[in-house]
Amino acid sequence: MSSDPRINAWIASTPIFDLVEVFRREFGSAMKAPGWALNALMRLAGAFNKSAEINLDKYAWQFGAADFKSVVDGVVAMAKRVDYARITVPSLFLMSEGEGDELKRQTLALYRDFRQRGIDVTLCEFTAAEGADGHCQVNNLRLAHLVIFDWLDRVFGHTPDDVRLCV
């Protein structure tokens, strides 16, 4: 992204620069569990929480894996830390108050770094009161899209009168 001249802006919902660290902190000791146990635990979590089930299925599909343990093993083996110091384009970071601690930490670290370097960066944190406290605002995509398109209008000089203000 940082070397492609066609990219003039970046929008990320909970931007992650170290996926291995997200897995390590969010899943902790579960990552060391035997595959059958981790997969059973994830299926159980999905049975009680439809959003968790959807996210777990998405991870497996996204990483081309048969189950969650295979996803974890693949990420740990292949994921590289992103060199975000090379990113200089205007950026919008979306984060929900219901995100995991590590997702919030990495989003805020990027936000502070970009501000310190003078990059045009906007952070928008969604809340339960807005109905958008799920990961990637999956429970209120309409609001997320409103924020995204208003931000794009501002960045590219077409500011509407009713722009939602974020920090």
Residue 43: the pLDDT is: 76
- Do 67 and 26 belong to one domain? yes
pLDDT of residue 127: 85
Of 78, 102, 119, which residue is a domain's last?
A: 78
pTM of the complete model: 0.77
pLDDT at site 34: 76
Does one domain contain both 67 and 91? no
144 with 126: CB under 8 angstroms?
yes
Q: Which long-range contacts (CB under 8 A, 24 or more apart) does 132-135 make?
A: 132/96, 133/96, 133/97, 133/98, 134/51, 134/96, 134/98, 135/14, 135/51, 135/55, 135/96, 135/98, 135/99, 135/100, 135/103
- Final residue in a domain of this structure, among 32, 61, 78: 78
Query: Are both 106 and 55 inside the same structural domain?
Result: no
What's the average pLDDT block by block, 10 residues per block, for the chain (167 residues)? 82 92 81 74 74 75 79 81 94 92 95 97 90 76 89 84 58
Domain endpoint, select from 78, 101, 128: 78
Note the pLDDT of residue 79: 85
pLDDT at 1: 54
Q: What is the pLDDT of residue 148?
A: 92
**How many domains is the chain partitioned into structurally?**
2
Range of the domain at 149: 10-17+82-155
Q: What is the predicted pLDDT for the residue at 91?
A: 97
pLDDT of 13-30, one tens digit each?
999 999 889 888 887 776
Q: Are residues 33 and 46 in the same domain?
A: yes
| Domain annotation covers residue 160 | no
Q: Is residue 165 part of a domain?
A: no
* Same domain, yes or no: 60 and 91: no
**Contact present, 34 and 40 (Cβ < 8 Å):** no
Please say whether the dihedral angle defined by the alpha carbons of residues 93, 97, 100 and 105, taken in this order, is positive or negative: positive
